[in-house]
Structure formats: C-alpha cells, structure tokens
Structure 1
Amino acid sequence: MSGISLFNNLVRNSSKINFGSRVNQIVNFVAKNDTRRYLSSKVVKDSKIRNIGISAHIDSGKTTLTERLLFYSGRINQMHEVKGKDQVGATMDSMELERQRGITIQSAATYIDWKDHNINIIDTPGHVDFTIEVERALRVLDGAVLVLCAVGGVQSQTMTVNRQMKRYNVPFIAFINKLDRMGANHNRVAAQLKQKLGQNCALVQFPMGLESKFKGIVDVIEEKAIYFDGDCGEILREEPVPNEYKDELKKKKQELIESLSNVDEELGEMFLDEKVPTNEQIQNAIRRNVINRTFTPIFVGSALKNKGVQKLLDGVIQYLPNPSEITNYALDESSENPVKIPINPDRSGENKFLGLAFKLEAGRYGQLTYLRVYQGRIKKDDFAYNVRTGKKHKISRLVRMHSNFMEDITEAYAGDIIALFGIDCSTGDTFVTDKEFKLSMESMYVPDPVVSLSIKPADSNMNDNFSKGINRFMKEDPTFKVNYDSDSKELIAYGMGELHLDIYATRLEREYNCKCILGKPKVAFRETLLEPFEFDYLHKKQSGGQGQYGRVIGTLEPLPAEKYQSIEFVDQTTGTNVPDQFIPGIKRGFQNSLEKGILSGNKVTGLLFRLTDGANHCTDSTDLAFQLAAEGAMKQAFTEGKWQIIEPIMFVEVTAPEEFQSAVVGNLNKRNGIIVNSETNMGWFNLQCEVALNDMFGYSSEIRSLTQGKGEFAMEFLKYLPAREDVVNKLIDAYTTDKTPTKKKKKN
C-alpha cells in the first residue's frame, strides 16, 4: 500500500485511532515508500515544471477543483467534499475551521505529476478578508487558473484577483466551472470576461448541454467531443462531434482564430491572407500570447461532477509558462542606487542561490517558512543568509508541502516551491547562501486594514497564551495588527473585515485555549486637509548651553481623492537655509504628527508636505530641532487649517432570487448605498453598489433574513470619500466627550 493510500485509510478510520500520534509515522512512510513521490532534482528540466495558483471569487469551486486535480494525477486515491460531510473534508482545507465553515482561510501548497510534468499548486482563498493569501501566492507563481462560476460569472473578487494578477504580471487561463448548475451560461461568462475585465479571450472548449443535461465538452481546436465516463469521470472517451453541435463548433473556432489574429503577428498575417492555420499553429499562438498576457483561453467543465478537469490539466501544461519563460528581477543592494537585474532560472545549480520567503506558519515544530527558489540550488545542511538582517541560518530540514503534510527532500533548485524549518524571518525576506551576494527580491503588496475592534482575553490568567497567539498571527499575516490605544486603554485589533477578525478570535480559543472578548467593530476613518495651508514655523529654545533652532516654511496640500490613503513629502528648498542633513528630521516630524487628527483623533492621510524654505543657526540647529519645527508646523495647520473626515467606501455585490430584489434594493438605499449596476439572469439578480463600510455592519445576517437565506453578498474596499455630515458630527462629539476630563468627586 502506498503512503498516500495509508494516509487516506487512517483518515477514514480517524475515530478509531489517535490521529495526532500517527502524523510523523504517516509522513515518513509517504516520504520513503510512495512511488508517486515528487522528486526535486536538476534532471527535471525547466520545461517540465509549472508553478500555478487556483484563484477565484468565493464559492466558485477552487478547492473542489484542486481536489480533482489531486485525484486525477494520482496524488490522492479518494475525493472528499469541501463541507466535510464525511468528517474528512477536502485535502487542501486542512484547518478544522475551514472544514466547518466550508471556506478556504489559508492558502495551501501541494504538487502533482501530470504527463511527465511537475506541477506545484497553491489553492488560495476567495474571500476578500483573506486577500493577503492571494497576494503572496501570486507574487511567487509563474501562472494561474482563474476559476469562474457559470452562474455568477465575473464577480467582485474576480475583479480583485484580476488586478492582483496584473500587478505581478501573472499569465493565466480561465476555467468556467459549475456548468451543471441551474442558470449556467458559458457564453455570458465569456462575454463578462471581455466587458468587465477587458480580456482578449475565447472559448477553446464549449459544453454539450447545460445544467442537468451537461454531458461532456467539445474541443474547439481538435474538433472532438469528449465524454467523462466511470464513477469519478476518470475515463476519457473521444468521439466525433455530434451534428447538433457542428455549427456552434465552426462559429467558436472562427471566434478563436479572430481573437488570436488581433494580437498574434503570425496568425494575423495568415488571417489577412485567408489561410487556415493548423491546430499546432493555433496552440503555439495561444501559448505565446498567454505568456505575454495578451490572450486568455477559456476552458469549461464541472469539478463537482468530474467533467473537464483532465483537459484543464492538459491546458496548464500546454499554455502556461515554465519558470524559465518568466523574467524575474532582483535589486542589487551592493550599490548606493539599487538597480534591477534579471535572475537566471537555470536548474543546473551552478548559479548562486536566491530565494524569497513568501509565507510563514507557526506549528508544533517551530516556524515553517515557505520559500520560492528563484536561482541556484539549496541543500540540506547549507547555511543561508537573510539579506535584510544579515543573520546566518543553518538549513536543518527541507520539505515539500502537501496541504498540511510534508515530505523531506535533500535539495531544491530554481523553480521549486519548498518550506524550511528553524528560520527566523519575516514575510518578504530574501535568502542567499553567499553572504557577499547582496540581491533582494521585491516583496508583495500589503493592503491596509479597514476594520478595527477592541480585543482582550476573557480570563486574565490567559494573558501569556493571548500574547503568544497574537504575536504569531501578526507575524504570519501582515494585514492583521494589534496595537495598544493609550486613550481608550484597550488593545485594538485591525483587519480586513469582520470575518477576518472573528476567525483569529476563534483560532485563539481553539489553538491557545484563550477565549477572547471582542468589542464593537470600528471603521478606519481618516482625516485629511480640505484646502492648502501655508505654514511658517520657528522652533527656538534657549535654556543654557546649546539651544534649539529650526525654521520650516512651506505648504501643506490635500492630495486628490485617489491618493487619500497616501502621504507625500517633497523637498523644494534651494540654497543652504535648510541643510540637507536636517531634511530627514523634518520628514520624521511630519510623519510623527499624522497619528491623530484634530477632529476625531483618527489617523491623518491624503497630505502633501511641500517644504520650500526655512532657516538654521550655525550652532543651535540640530536634527531634533528641525523635527520639532515640523511638528510645530503641523500643530499650526491642525489649529488654523480646514480639515475633513473621510471614510472607506466598499464595493458590494449582492446575488439573490428576483422575488427579493425590491426588498434588497430598499435595504441598500436605507444604508445610503449607490447602485452602479444591476442585471438579471434565469430568475436571479446581480446588484453592484458602493456603500460606506460604516453602514455595512450586520448586513450578513440582514441579507439572509431578507432573502430567506437564499441571498449572498461579497464586499471589498474601493476608495476613501468624505464622510456624511451626520457621521462627522457623531465622530466629533464622541471624540470631544472622550477628551473632556471628568471631575472627581471630593471625598467627605
């Protein structure tokens, strides 16, 4: 029996065994005996490796699809469902919370062999609250599969994932899933890809029948009908295309060639000359343009009904790039002005090692660091250096992850995704094995938290466990932060949404036996300037000995609305009135003053500090003096300038049966929502609107009540805009009340 088979048998009989005590035994057995074990070696060519992510809007079927990829590749021998009805759950949802809630919370890595190719896969969450998991996965991947629901189509998180792929220049193919569902329409989804995401795309497959009549797919390029027989759809049967689909096949192939001709020079010339390209020419053109991100082929199927998954795997190999076809860059830190230099992805192992830590997890054996190897080779017992800190670490254990299980390996080469034990680092750190090799990889984008609430342990005796858990979660997740508020004397947790913070509170209770009390969620309001303010501030102090002298002159300006989350500092001084060595102190004084605004005590953003002139003293001017001068100028601006409060606006998408449309619209209007788009399809409506986050608390339970549990919604941060007058007045009143000292009663 293989290690994987043993593992599955143990899971199925988990009620009869002490599962925790057998983990190491299972993992070691798998590593030593499983004949399907992935082998990382330089004999594996670049062209035989794919690093892909599975990304989509929530509930589009990503984890179900990944479960099928594992099954058909022989990585597991039995499929399980996401909800865990059989008490097992999907392989990639290893956390108990994920199985209970039926959602993916953490990205999980695995690997499979398919037709002599090694494919590393990262299954990512779909909920916007866990968007950092998608960010760091896409940062290190060479390609991706964008999964779309055949009913929901392009939804809010689909747009977010599309932007993330664009940010990291990740090529992708699309897979329209759930064609067996009522209301499925592949043509509508393909049209949305073009209209909403601006993709140049075309179907390379189309379904034979929809909903309950979905029986197979037609390959547009090969012109074959493909059926998926067997209990699990494991037997592929190819037949000539039935007559009823031949007209549609001809139309879809013409659309495919035309879409490719618009972006591919070779096919464009053939199209103009009215030549018919061969199947091989079409496939080569698709691959070229997928890698260039100028074309997206669309595959179709139903993961739950075991249709179309194997052909999607063929598409991953055929169209997505291998590591050598993607140009990655590193910053040369050895020079004063770091410059970008290309990385050599050759797997010979002769180049110097370079790797990026993109994800951290804390487990029973210490910190587990996920690493993408970009260049060279790393071996067990090597010494690696953290470029940021300069610390030296011995690589005592190298593993390759399969969900939450690991298999020991002895070495890894460029293009591999591995994990290390015993490395103390942060997300985004670069590692090298040559201390003099001072290259660093660009880190991933980390969005700012939008929701905060107070948090404290229910039992003060649990303070140690509480601190351990909070410190671990903050290290693992850059979007989760906990700070002490000196005014309210409370710990404030910051996150991407109510669900995000609720998940961490639940994990504290389960993993650290520390039940937490959460306060009312608070919105990340901000303050910004309404109109430019000119400042001229002199900080002068003489108290015996050396004094302090610094003068700053300039303008404080509001940034445009699209930059409300930013702050900028511009030095426009000329001459020697403000020596260059004091500029950092002025900038520091400006930044220190942004922690609390004058109106509501919230952070100040959306400002440009333009320094134009100043004055210094030959002996009394210091870095501290100019820092205090900048802080004084900001206090002057707070007192005399005109300020406003801005609030986060969310993009909200609601899907529900048409019979509840008027009730949903009325409720959103009551929440001061602005509807930007509405469409209906097969008895369901899809509503897109913009609503202030402050008006969205409690909406999850309200939408269920309004739609008899049939409606669902998704929400993501969109922008900051000025808050309504009634909201501003409440915030100012609350802040004024908190600042007013209460008079103590005199004791008799």
Structure 2
Amino acid sequence: MPLENTNHSDTILQREVKRRRTFAIISHPDAGKTTLTEKLLMYGGAIRSAGTVKAKKSQQFATSDWMEVEKQRGISVASSVMQFEHQNCVINLLDTPGHQDFSEDTYRVLTAVDAALMVIDAAKGVEAQTIKLLEVCRLRKTPVITFINKMDREVRDPLELIDEIENILKLSCAPITWPVGMGKDFAGVYDLQQAQMLKFTPGENQRDQEEIEVLDGADHPYLRNHYPIAHATFKEELDIIEAAATPFDQQSFLDGDVSPVFFGSAINNFGVRDILKALVEWAPSPRPRPARQRIVYPDATDFTGIVFKIQANMNPQHRDRIAFLRICSGEYQQGLKVKHVRSAKPIRLDHAITFMAQERAHLSSAYAGDIIGIPNHGKLRIGDVLTQGEMVELEGIPHFSPEIFKVARLNDPLRAKQLNKALKELGEEGTIQVFDPLEKTGIVLGAVGQLQFETVAHRLLTEYKIDATFETVPIKKAFWIDGQDAHVKRFSQANTNRLARDASGALAFMSPNNAVLEVTMEKWPDITFQSTREIGAV
C-alpha cells in the first residue's frame, strides 16, 4: 500500500494534531462511567460542578446524559461527545452507552477513537459487556487505560481483580497505583512510579487537585497508626506486585498489549487526576487510518473524515439531525468544500459544531482527531467519507445482526406516513435497525435488547408526537447477503417474501428459524450470508 506524502512544512497542522487526544470511556452498566466522565470534565476545567442537580447560573454545568429517557432511567443510551483543553492538549472525550442493549452504538464509537478508558466496578470485576467491548478494542489494537472504581466501598481483593482482567480479557496489567484498604478503611493509593502515597479524603465536593495530601514512602507512620490492618495487607501485596506484575512500557501500551491500571473512587474525585495525566502523557495523538487506496496520515494537508454516528433531535425545538464526523486528516475550516465519496457529489461544510454534552458551539476550525458535528438533512449516512483529496474509502463502521425483531403498531392509523419517516430517521442514526421488506408488508425493527424498543417508543412520542406500540414478528435472524450481481438477482427473485433492505439500502435475508436458513444456504451456495456488515468498508 503506497504511503501518502505529508507536508512537513505545515508546522501548525502537525502541532495541532499532536495536541489531540481522542478516547472513549467504556464499561459494563453501573460501573460509574458517566460519573467518571463528569469528574474528568471537572478536573479538566471544562465544568465547575458535576451530577444531575441543577447548577447555579454563575457556574458552568454539563452532564453527558442529555436525552430525556436517560434522565428518567439514570442510564446512558446514546453516545455523547465532549471537547475541552487540558495541559495544552485538546481532549475529545466520548461517553458511550453503558447499557448492553446499546452495544452497537459503542462499537461504532470505538472506530472513531485512538484510545479507550475502561472502567471496572471493584466489587463486581470483569462483566459481560466489558468482555465484548475489549474484543472490539483488541481487533483494532486500541490502547486501553484501566480504572478500577469504587474503592471507597467493600470490594474484591485487588490482586484477584488484576488476575481476572488478565485471564478473562487477555490483557496484561501494569499497575500504576495500588490501593491501601477498601471501604471505610480505604486510606488512598500508592503511586508505584513515584513511591508516594496519595491520601484519600472522602467528599464529593473536593475539586482542587492540590488538596490531595501526599505521603512519602510505603511505610509512612500515618498509615501504620491509622490503618494498621490495611497497611499490613498492602505491604504484602506490594511485594507481590513489585516482583511479579507486568512493568509499564509505553510502546506495549500503544500496541494494545498492556494496560496501565489505576485505582480510585470517581464519586469522590479520587484517582481522576491520575487518569487525566495518563491520557495527556501516554495516550496516542491521532493515528494513521487504513483505506483501500492508501494510508491516510493525520498530518496530511487534505481533509478526510468519516461519519460514525448520526443523532436526530438533539435539540427538539429545532428538530435537527447531526452527523458526527471524526476528522482523520487535515484541517476543517468554515466553508470547506469536500467530496462525498458515496455519491461523488461536492458538499460545502459551513456550519460545523463542537460539543460539550448538550451544549454546542459553532467552530471555525478543527483538526485531525477532533469530532465535529455536521448539520445533516438526510444526505449523510453512517460510514460516509468526506474528502478534500482523492476518493479514499476508509475502514468501515460495523453493523451487527439484531436479536429481536418487532413491527410498530399505530394507535392512530392516519399517522402511518409520519411513522415511516420517523423510523427511517431513527434507523439512519443507528438508534435501531430498520428493515423495509421488498413486499412492502410494513417496516420491521431489529434490536439487540428490549430497551432499544422502549427508547424508540419514547422518542416517537416525545419528538415526533407518534403513539406506537411494538409486536414481535416471526423472524429469528437477519443476514446480509452478498455475491455476484447475477446470483443476487436470481436469489432476490426467488426469495422476495423473505428479503428486506436496511436503512442504507443493503439487502438482508430475514430468516424465521435456523432450519429455513440452513436449507436456503445449501440451496444457494453462490450467496454469502453475513451476520455483520461494515458500512463504508474498504
């Protein structure tokens, strides 16, 4: 694959690219991910308070859960993007959905970042959703920083947690900090690199980083006198860690083989400072991206970007649709003229926006690594590439076959046209998968879990004023089909009653059970049946 020439004289572009850190926070539900997100924003100086209570008008305030259904249920079901500056770095933080029913949105987000911050509940350890997310990170060799949260509670043995991460996730752990005690006896963490103790003081309102008291050495009299049992256990664990733990090596981290591990309590702001420092010092700046034609380098002067998410009605008053675009190379400037690779048509980017959770601002420039929002009226889809140079086809955005299928039933049949339009928009943004049968028997919705249907029903009612319920249909699995045009045409003619097109127009076989699928696959050996599909794949 030929290399693309970079413009080494464009020092401003290169400097700005090196300043970028773009990462996602991933976890199993209830591990404290959204809390940590808010505390990172607070320590990064982006906001002055965190939580779900209203802030005073004189304070800056943001929470990453902006959708009404999230506020009601206390969970994250949509990815939020937040940008702020810290220690001369521009940090793009993506808070992903924690609930497993929205895992597909998280998979898409992981294609747009250069690193991941994994949050582990210290009481529960490695959970199912964490395993799936790490598999995606491993496929793309995404560097992972691990934060073991909730040490201020009664939790599991830290050595046991490290062993579980290494054995189940197949990820080598390099402890950077180590806890002294837990729950009521949580004294703080010991910095293995600096050989000093960071004293824990509970209290959610502690903001000033300098308030954290530092104790020199692992045998400080304060620890022996106030936490004798916890300190004795810590000393035993320290001997084991220093003798047997994987040492931190930045290249191994960048290769995705080793994860630096931190312990703390996000709700008490403890350990957040260390995470931010690691992101600034260790996390990679924007990396080259593979395309079919060549490697796309971030400091190349030609602008290139890929749409990884579409969100409708972020501002219900304006009924807007925003395409989230990861800039892969070059610089965005207001009025930039680019080419839309899928349609080969020119597009002018005039009103790109940047985000701080639900707050947004128009921007005049952005660089590789940044996430920008493009106002979208149906032209852009997930996986679309915009480019200033040649028509490159970047690595695609994954789509996974749903596990539950339902049809919408209107309480007001006269709203059928509005329902189809609303479902199409929700399908294009990835909230749920939408399949339009070739025989036009009614749109079928596919999802990973039940909560997705609840979210769609809520959004239909609140954003589109459509009252609908959902009924299960006899479909077991949807498989995207592929093959030579002549074979696909004959297959389509013979199986029209079981075929549908998804939101992007791709053809899918809707199988009622495994027996039908097996018979169909045997009868049509020239057709490929795929349970995953990459949108915009190379």
The alignment's TM-score, normalised by the length of structure 1, stands at 0.60
Partner of residue 232 from structure 1, selected from 198, 201, 206? 206
Instruction: Give the equivalent residue in structure 1 for 2:291.
Output: 330
How much has 1:50 moved relative to structure 2? 0.7
> 1 CA distance for matches of 2:496 and 2:24?
38
Q: Is the 8 A contact 1:290 1:296 kept in 2?
A: yes
Q: Is the 8 A contact 1:383 1:394 kept in 2?
A: yes
Q: Is the 8 A contact 2:22 2:93 kept in 1?
A: yes
> 1 CA distance for matches of 2:517 and 2:495?
5
Residues 116-125 or 588-597, more deviating: 588-597
5 Å matches for 1:159-174?
159-174=131-146
Instruction: Give the equivalent residue in structure 2 for 1:449.
Output: 402
Q: Is the 8 A contact 1:380 1:395 kept in 2?
A: yes
5 Å matches for 1:338-737?
341-346=294-299, 351-363=301-313, 364=318, 366-422=320-376, 424-434=379-389, 437-477=390-430, 479-483=432-436, 489-520=441-472, 524=476, 584-590=485-491, 592-593=493-494, 604=517, 607=521, 609-610=524-525
How much has 1:212 moved relative to structure 2? 2.3
Q: Is the 8 A contact 1:106 1:125 kept in 2?
A: yes
Partner of residue 119 from structure 2, selected from 147, 151, 162? 147
SS of corresponding position for 1:373: strand
Instruction: Give the equivalent residue in structure 2 for 1:270.
Output: none
Instruction: Give the equivalent residue in structure 2 for 1:535.
Output: none
> 1 CA distance for matches of 2:237 and 2:450?
46
> 1 CA distance for matches of 2:323 and 2:472?
34
SS of corresponding position for 2:81: strand
Partner of residue 63 from structure 2, selected from 74, 77, 91? 91
Partner of residue 314 from structure 1, selected from 267, 277, 282? 277
Verify: 1:54 aligned to 2:25, yes or no. Answer: yes
Verify: 1:138 aligned to 2:110, yes or no. Answer: yes
SS of corresponding position for 2:297: coil
Verify: 1:222 aligned to 2:183, yes or no. Answer: no
> 2 CA distance for matches of 1:485 and 1:593?
12
* Structure 2 unaligned regions, length at least 5: 1-11, 220-230, 499-509, 533-538
How much has 1:512 moved relative to structure 2? 1.3
Q: Is the 8 A contact 2:39 2:269 kept in 1?
A: yes
Q: Is the 8 A contact 1:594 1:604 kept in 2?
A: no
Instruction: Give the equivalent residue in structure 2 for 1:541.
Output: none
Q: Give the 3 Å change call, closer, same or farther, for CA 295–151 of structure 1 in structure 2.
A: same
Verify: 1:182 aligned to 2:161, yes or no. Answer: no
Instruction: Give the equivalent residue in structure 1 for 2:252.
Output: 289
Partner of residue 248 from structure 1, selected from 225, 237, 252? 237
Q: Which structure has the larger Rg over C-alpha atoms?
A: 1
SS of corresponding position for 1:104: coil
Q: Is the 8 A contact 1:147 1:174 kept in 2?
A: yes
Q: Give the 3 Å change call, closer, same or farther, for CA 314–585 of structure 1 in structure 2.
A: same
Amino acid at match of 2:290: Y
How much has 1:591 moved relative to structure 2? 5.2
SS of corresponding position for 1:169: coil
Deviation track 1:550-574 (CA, whole Å, cap 9, x = no partner) reads xxxxxxxxxxxxxxx68676xxxxx
How much has 1:475 moved relative to structure 2? 1.0
> 2 CA distance for matches of 1:315 and 1:126?
23
Deviation track 1:335-390 (CA, whole Å, cap 9, x = no partner) reads xxxxxx111211xxx62111111111223263211111111122111222101111
Q: Is the 8 A contact 1:223 1:249 kept in 2?
A: no
Identity of aligned residues (%): 25
Instruction: Give the equivalent residue in structure 1 for 2:7.
Output: none
Verify: 1:68 aligned to 2:39, yes or no. Answer: yes
How much has 1:205 moved relative to structure 2? 1.1
Q: Is the 8 A contact 1:446 1:478 kept in 2?
A: no
> 2 CA distance for matches of 1:492 and 1:398?
33
Deviation track 1:160-184 (CA, whole Å, cap 9, x = no partner) reads 1011112222111111111223334
Deviation track 1:398-444 (CA, whole Å, cap 9, x = no partner) reads 2111112212211122222211224621100000124xx11121211
Instruction: Give the equivalent residue in structure 2 for 1:335.
Output: none
Amino acid at match of 1:362: A
SS of corresponding position for 1:604: helix
How much has 1:486 moved relative to structure 2? 5.3
> 2 CA distance for matches of 1:450 and 1:147?
27
Q: Give the 3 Å change call, closer, same or farther, for CA 585–522 of structure 1 in structure 2.
A: closer
> 2 CA distance for matches of 1:601 and 1:414?
45
SS of corresponding position for 2:111: helix
Q: Give the 3 Å change call, closer, same or farther, for CA 589–78 of structure 1 in structure 2.
A: same
> 2 CA distance for matches of 1:300 and 1:163?
23
Q: Give the 3 Å change call, closer, same or farther, for CA 525–427 of structure 1 in structure 2.
A: closer
> 2 CA distance for matches of 1:147 and 1:71?
18
Q: Is the 8 A contact 1:220 1:252 kept in 2?
A: no
How much has 1:522 moved relative to structure 2? 5.2
Q: Is the 8 A contact 1:233 1:306 kept in 2?
A: yes
Q: Give the 3 Å change call, closer, same or farther, for CA 172–155 of structure 1 in structure 2.
A: same
Q: Give the 3 Å change call, closer, same or farther, for CA 248–495 of structure 1 in structure 2.
A: closer
Task: Count the aligned residue pairs.
Answer: 479
Q: Give the 3 Å change call, closer, same or farther, for CA 345–43 of structure 1 in structure 2.
A: closer
Amino acid at match of 1:177: N
> 2 CA distance for matches of 1:440 and 1:145?
28
Q: Give the 3 Å change call, closer, same or farther, for CA 595–299 of structure 1 in structure 2.
A: farther
Instruction: Give the equivalent residue in structure 1 for 2:48.
Output: 77
How much has 1:524 moved relative to structure 2? 1.6
Amino acid at match of 1:426: R
> 1 CA distance for matches of 2:482 and 2:374?
38
Q: Is the 8 A contact 1:233 1:307 kept in 2?
A: no
How much has 1:85 moved relative to structure 2? 9.5
Instruction: Give the equivalent residue in structure 2 for 1:3.
Output: none
Q: Is the 8 A contact 2:438 2:497 kept in 1?
A: no
SS of corresponding position for 1:58: coil
How much has 1:86 moved relative to structure 2? 9.1
Amino acid at match of 1:302: S
Deviation track 1:489-526 (CA, whole Å, cap 9, x = no partner) reads 55432211211112101110111111112224655258
How much has 1:65 moved relative to structure 2? 0.4
5 Å matches for 1:21-40?
none
How much has 1:454 moved relative to structure 2? 2.4
How much has 1:247 moved relative to structure 2? 4.5
Q: Is the 8 A contact 1:190 1:202 kept in 2?
A: no
Task: Kindly indicate whether structure 1 or structure 2 has the higher relative contact order, using CA contacts under 8 Å at least 6 residues apart.
Answer: 2
Deviation track 1:620-667 (CA, whole Å, cap 9, x = no partner) reads xxxxxxxxxx9xxxxxxxxxxxxxxxxx9xxxxxxxxxxxxxxxxxxx
Instruction: Give the equivalent residue in structure 2 for 1:305.
Output: 268
